[in-house]
Structure formats: structure tokens, C-alpha cells
Amino acid sequence: MTRSLRDLIAESRRAVIFTGAGISTESGIPDFRSPGGIWSKMKPIYYDEFVGSEDKRRESWTRTFSGVMRWTGAAPNPGHYAVARLVARGKVASVITQNIDNLHQESGVPAGQVIELHGNASYATCLDCGLRHELEVLKQSFLGRGEIPACRDCGGIVKTATISFGQAMPPDKMERARAETLDCDLFIVLGSSLVVYPAAGFPLLAKENDARLVIVNKEPTEQDRYADLVIHDSIGAVMTAAAPLD
């Protein structure tokens, strides 16, 4: 199996990698749908609630800074590093990710080649002017003085740079992901149950456009039947074999 993933990669001129929560479980971050997943423990805070209520903002920041979300502070694992090698070798043009954990960048993929469909939980931005705010700075004033983060420039509401439930997908990222999908001849899905749309539409778009489709996921997905190669195994081992160290 793995040998043929290596072959498909060798034959590809331009590949795209699409990742979901499953690539980060080997870094200790629970995925979405398994029993220990975060939303089985607490209710998500919707975008409108966050913007409309100071109490909800306090609750949200309490979750962020208590570390209960477990999306920050983890380190990349062999799956992330194998992906980074394929990018460094010029095989993979872009990594489209549903993850918000920043681990592709931390494993060495240049930020410009990571397309984050659901944003990034490792920093925050002002909802009014877009200014970036570092979590460490916000954490000090929140925990020390109980200050709910506000923009140091314009006073606007500050939120982690993630796409919340009820918030629109970023149109620029969606457009880039679509263009990359249409430009590739090999589309590799790593660790996504492929049920969260519109993101889950990209593998089928690639397939319709005559790219080869590979799905690496521990459990079957609804899109397995469209794939040229399906591997139900752990991403770290599969990708280390598919993209070995020199």
C-alpha cells in the first residue's frame, strides 16, 4: 500500500495535501468526532454570541487560557514532518488544512503555502481593524486584571483568529484552495472524516478535474469509493514511509 503512495507521489508533478484533525492526534490533540473530542465535553460558542455578549467573551477566553481546548502548546509529529519534506522537495505546492493548531507551520511548511480554512488558534486578531494580537500578552491582562481582550489600536473586539461556528468561511482562502485543487494532479487527504462541508468538497473537485485522489484515514470515509488509493492506517507511519528521510 505505502509503496504505491510513494509511486503516486513520484509520478506527480504538482500535489496538494489536505489535512484534518486526524493528522494532529499523534501530537496529543483530540480529533473532533472521537468520544474524547472537545465538543462532546462543552458547547461551542457561536460567533454571534461571542460578538454580542461580554459574558460569552469571558467564557471563551477562559477556555482559551485554561488550555482546555488543547489546540495550542502541542508539537508537530512525524506526519507533519513528512508533509513538510514533500513541500521542501517541491512535490507539494500547498497544504490545505481544516486545523487551527499551527502545526504545519511549526513543522517547517512556509506560512504562505498553508491555506487555513478554519483559521488559527495560536494568535488573535481585532474583528474591526484586523490587527494581530499575541495570546501571551492578552493572557497576562486577562488572568492578572480580568480584562477582556480589546484592540490596543482601535478598541475593537479581539478574538482568536479561528473561524467560529456560525461565522462565514474566509472567501480568499476558499478561492485559493479551489485554485490549488484545480491545479494539482495528486490530492492527498490526511486525517479527515470528510463530513464538514464546504471543506470536504475539495477532494471530489480534484477527482472531477482528473487528479488522482488518495485518502489516508484510520476509519473509512464516505469518499473512499472515489479514491484511487485508500489507506486505513496511522498517518505518521504511512507518511514517513511515503516520504522517507534522505
Residues of this chain that bind ligand NAD (CB under 6 A): 20-22, 24-26, 29, 31-33, 71, 98-101, 118, 191-193, 196, 217-219, 234-235
User: Is 118 an active-site residue?
Assistant: yes
Q: Count other C-beta atoms under 10 Å from residue 52's C-beta.
A: 11
Q: Which of residues 121-140 bind Zn ion (CB under 5 A)?
A: 126, 128-129, 131
Partner touching 154 among ligand NAD, Zn ion, none, CB below 5 to 8 Å by kind = Zn ion
Q: Using an 8 Å Cβ cutoff, are 149 and 138 in contact?
A: yes
**Residue 39 burial (10 A CB sphere; 0-12, 13-18, 19+):** exposed
Nearer to Zn ion, 1 or 154 (CB): 154
Q: Give the residue nearest to ligand NAD (CB).
A: 22
Minimum CB–partner distance for residue 10 and Zn ion (Å) = 48
Give CA torsion, residues 7, 8, 11, 17, to 10 deg: -130
Minimum CB–partner distance for residue 231 and ligand NAD (Å) = 9
H or E segment and range at residue 106:
helix 103-106
Partner touching 151 among ligand NAD, Zn ion, none, CB below 5 to 8 Å by kind = Zn ion
Nearer to ligand NAD, 24 or 223 (CB): 24
Q: Roughly what angle, to the nearest 10 degrees, separates helices 235-242 and 2-11?
A: 50
The 10 Å CB-count burial string (b at 16+, else e) for 125-144 is bbeeeeeebebeebeeebee
Residue of 118, 167, 120, 123 lying closest to 149 (CA atoms): 123
The only residue of 16, 151, 184, 206 in contact with Zn ion, by rule CB under 5 A: 151
Nearer to Zn ion, 125 or 181 (CB): 125
Q: Does 1 bind Zn ion (CB under 5 A)?
A: no
Partner touching 191 among Zn ion, ligand NAD, none, CB below 5 to 8 Å by kind = ligand NAD
For residues 183 and 163, give the distance between their C-alpha atoms in angstroms, rounded to a whole number. Answer: 26
**Which grid coordinates are listed for 30?**
483530540
Partner touching 99 among Zn ion, ligand NAD, none, CB below 5 to 8 Å by kind = ligand NAD
Q: Judged by CB under 5 A, which stretch of 70-78, 100-108, 147-155, 231-239 contacts Zn ion? A: 147-155
Pairing of the two strands 119-126 and 132-133: antiparallel
Nearer to ligand NAD, 108 or 156 (CB): 108
The residue ranges that bind Zn ion (CB under 5 A) are: 126, 128-129, 131, 151, 153-154, 156
Active-site residue set: 118
